[in-house]
Structure formats: C-alpha cells, structure tokens
Amino acid sequence: MRGRTIQTFTLAAILVVCVVIVLHVAHQTSYNQSTEELSPIPLHNTNLMQDQQLINRNIPRGYSKRKPEDTDVSLRTSADKEEENVSKINRLGVLFARDARDWAPLTCDRNRTLRQVSIKTKIGNFTFYVYDKASDDESVTARALKGNIFERSEIERFLDISRDLPLIDVGGNVGLVALQAAMQGRQVVAVEPIPENALRLCRSALDFGHSHLVHVINNAVSSSEGNVTLASDISKQSTRFEVARKSGWGFDSIVRFAILLDRLLEVVPFKRAALKIDVESHEGHVIAGAHKLFKEMDIPLVWMEWAHVKEKTEFGAKTILDFMQTYSMEPYDLMSGRRLHEKTYMHWPFTVLWRKTNFPMPAERER
Ligand SMILES: *[C@@H]1O[C@H](CO)[C@@H](O)[C@H](O)[C@H]1NC(C)=O
Ligand SMILES: *[C@@H]1O[C@H](CO)[C@@H](O)[C@H](O)[C@H]1NC(C)=O
Ligand SMILES: *[C@@H]1O[C@H](CO)[C@@H](O)[C@H](O)[C@H]1NC(C)=O
Ligand SMILES: *[C@@H]1O[C@H](CO)[C@@H](O)[C@H](O)[C@H]1NC(C)=O
Ligand SMILES: *[C@@H]1O[C@H](CO)[C@@H](O)[C@H](O)[C@H]1NC(C)=O
C-alpha cells in the first residue's frame, strides 16, 4: 500500500516536471508553428436550437430584467449596459467560444452518452459527467469512480469562503468547482479549452439543472491572443492537456484560440466575482491579460494553483506578485487562513488564496 503510494507519488512528480518542461518549450514555439496540419475536434451545431430554447425558458432571477429609472440618465446607461451583456450571454447559451472576430455559440452535444457519477459533498448530492474509465483520466475521473473528489477539502473551503460571490472559473475542467458553485445558487462563467472537458461541463449543467446559472467558454486563456496548440497524454485527459509541441509525443493535439481574460468583460453579466485559476503553470499568462478585468470588476478573491508557476522566470511568481500588489491583494494559506509572506513564495502551499484586505472571511462574517 505504502509502496504503491510512493510509486504513484513519484509518477505524479515526474509528470509535473514533464509538464513544466513541455509548457516552457511550448510557449516559445507555439506562435511559430503552423497550426494548419492539426485539425481541431469538430464541434457540431445541430443541437443549437434545442439548447437555446432550454436556455430561454430558464432566464435566472439574477439575470432578470431591471427597469432603469427614467429620471436618472447615468443609472439608465449603466443598467442598459448590464442588460446588454445579460442578453448577449443568454443568446450565446451554455457553451460558446470566441475567435479573432467575435463570440459564437457552440453545440453542447446531447446525443453523446456520458458516464455520470453522484457523490455526496457538503453542498449536497453532486452529480456530474466524467470520462468512461479511470484510465481515461487518472485525476478527476479515477477518484470520482471511487466516490472521491479531487482536491475535495480545498474545493470545499474555497466554495465556503467565496459563497456570496459569482464565480469566474479559469481551467474549469469537468466542473468540480463550477457545478458545485451553481449548486450554491451562484452564477458561474467557466473557461475550459479542452472540448471533451467543456462538453462534460455543459452537459452536466444542462442535464442536472444548472443551465440557468452556468456558462462555459471553450477557449484557452493566455497573455496574448491567437491560436495555441494543446496536447495531452491520453490517460491524463482532463487535467493534463498542455500548450505543447505539436508532434512526436504520441499525444492528442488540438488547436484552440487563446483569449485574454479581459475579454470576459464583453460577456460577463456581473460586476463582482471570485476568480479561480488552475491552468497547469500558465497562471502567470492568465494574470498578465487581466488588468482591465481587475480595474472594471470587483474581484476580492483569487484562488490559484501555485506549485507549478512559482519557479518560472517568465510569467511566473514575479508577474503574479506584482499584479496582486497593484490590486491590493494579499496571499493566504487557503486551508489555515494564515497570511503568507511574499519573500518566502517558493515555500508557499500547492495552492494559494489571494484576497483583498477588506474582504471578510466566513468566521468574521458570522461574528
Ligand atoms: C520562434 O520564434 C522566435 C522569435 O522569432 C525564435 O527566437 C525561436 O527560436 C523560434 N522557435 C522555433 C522553435 O522556431
Ligand atoms: C458589458 O460589456 C461591456 C463591453 O462590451 C463592458 O464594458 C461592461 O463593463 C459590461 N457591463 C457589465 C455590467 O458587465
Ligand atoms: C443528434 O441526434 C439527432 C436525432 O437522431 C440527429 O438528427 C442530430 O443530427 C444529432 N446531433 C448531433 C450533434 O450528432
Ligand atoms: C443524486 O442525483 C442524481 C441525479 O439527479 C440521482 O440520479 C441520484 O439518485 C441522487 N442520489 C441520491 C443519493 O439522492
Ligand atoms: C486558428 O485555427 C483555426 C483552425 O485551426 C483557423 O480556422 C483560424 O483561422 C485560426 N485563427 C487564427 C487567428 O490564426
């Protein structure tokens, strides 16, 4: 048992190292490559009407139309703007993406039979779609098939701390965080580049009663916009797709358009949100494209994976520390609530929570 654990751990450690190397090489090469030789996984459009009808029937309370005050011109302008975004995101539906020109709806294919699991969590009976077999996805699916949730206690803690805020989930995967946030009644915009993950996430939202709260954007997010190639070791499907070299690894490759996080301002229908970023060491690139978002929205909480990004020399710890300082956010240990010291960032935990100093933690709120 112990030997097995160590073996698994070693394997995981090797993987992480590979991933970091792959990403490092990839980011320098990804814009040189011709992506034409790679065909993206096709996304069908035939079910669009069906999905759209479903969405229109379910316009949420939070999205309901507000009548602007006739007397107040500035108020009317701001309410109109908000309403514009609300109707835009509702037109786009549960699953959509952006290319260099504009946003467009994608079909959340309802014909595919997907494997479903139900797991009891603190929030309730959590039902969602996973991959068919444990060997298809050794992180999320393998655990889910045994009734476990990947990073369960961290997710519970984050969902509790951020429970009063809508959620922007970058690296949504199959929806462990996004769908549970919806179960708390929160509005969610999730960004997920891998079509197979995005399909499971949008199908869970549609089939298990969250389609009025969840929107899924099937794009990559980076520090500049353009096509990027992502590759995966097939057995790590849901968590190990990376911006990667195009060939020679026996990986599946796909091309997705990378957007700046700032682009979300064009569709996000709320002014305040908690942000989660888990993008396999690409966190610095995501943050580098988020200045406008942080200026125009109130984002008092950011939960991010730290372990992979901290030692990168470009778009690494320095990029993130400078950014967070600019927006008056301080680093905390998610689980203990302990304030972390900027100088010791190489020793921070696997994930960190950034928060604005005036944002109340749950214990403080209840007092
Ligand atoms: C990609 O382009 C950059 C800048 O033009 C160059 O330094 C780098 O060597 C190129 N990489 C590859 C793999 O061609
Ligand atoms: C609506 O979208 C515009 C950009 O199209 C953005 O400037 C504005 O802040 C958004 N409004 C809300 C309420 O999100
Ligand atoms: C789903 O099934 C229907 C009916 O069998 C078919 O008309 C439609 O083309 C299928 N959609 C996709 C996306 O395969
Ligand atoms: C949980 O929800 C799913 C889907 O609605 C349902 O099939 C399952 O029976 C529920 N499980 C429990 C224990 O309530
Ligand atoms: C990105 O790739 C897609 C298909 O692979 C292609 O149709 C599109 O023109 C590319 N976009 C840009 C901006 O290069």
121 contacts: CB under 8 Å, gap ≥ 6: 149, 152, 156, 180
pLDDT tens, residue by residue, 210-243: 999 999 999 999 999 998 888 765 445 444 445 5
Residue 41 banded pLDDT, cuts 50, 70, 90: very low
Q: Are strands 220-221 and 252-259 parallel, antiparallel or unpaired?
A: parallel
Within-domain flag for 187: yes
pLDDT at 15 over 70: no
The mean pLDDT value of the chain amounts to: 80
* Of 39, 41, 203, the residue nearest 109 (C-alpha): 203
Q: Whose CA is nearest to atom 14 of ligand 2?
A: 269
Whether 33 is in the pocket of ligand 1, judged by its Cβ within 6 Å, is no
Within-domain flag for 154: yes
Calpha distance 184→13 (Å, rounded):
34
| Structure-token pair, residue 157 | 């803690």
Average pLDDT of 141-150? 96
Within-domain flag for 91: no
pLDDT tens, residue by residue, 241-289: 455 444 444 456 788 999 999 999 999 999 999 999 998 888 999 999 9
Within-domain flag for 72: no
Within-domain flag for 40: yes
Q: Which ligand does the CA of 29 lie closest to?
A: 1
Contact 184, 249 (CB under 8 A): no
pLDDT at 297 over 50: yes
Q: How far, in whole angstroms, is CA 253 from its chain's centroid?
A: 20
Q: Report the CATH number that the domain containing residue 133 is assigned in CATH.
A: 3.40.50.150
Whether 357 is in the pocket of ligand 1, judged by its Cβ within 6 Å, is no
pLDDT tens, residue by residue, 102-113: 999 999 999 999
Of the chain, the percentage scoring pLDDT greater than 90 comes to 62
Q: Which domain, by its residues, includes 202? A: 2-45+103-366
Within-domain flag for 252: yes
Of the chain, the percentage scoring pLDDT greater than 70 comes to 71
CA of 32 to the centre of ligand 1 (A): 6
**What is the pTM for the complete model shown?**
0.76
Within-domain flag for 111: yes
Within-domain flag for 199: yes
Number of domains in the chain: 1
Stretch among 167-171, 229-233, 274-278, 300-304 having the lowest mean pLDDT: 229-233
Calpha distance 283→317 (Å, rounded):
9
Q: For a pocket test of ligand 5, which of 36, 257, 260, 263 has the largest count of ligand atoms closer than 8 A to its C-beta?
A: 257
Contact 208, 183 (CB under 8 A): no
Give CA separation, 138 vs 113, 132, 146, 255, 359, in Å.
20, 11, 12, 23, 36
Give CA separation, 216 vs 1, 76, 96, 107, 112, in Å.
39, 29, 6, 11, 18
pLDDT tens, residue by residue, 24-39: 433 333 333 333 322 2
Q: How far, in whole angstroms, is CA 223 from its chain's centroid?
A: 16
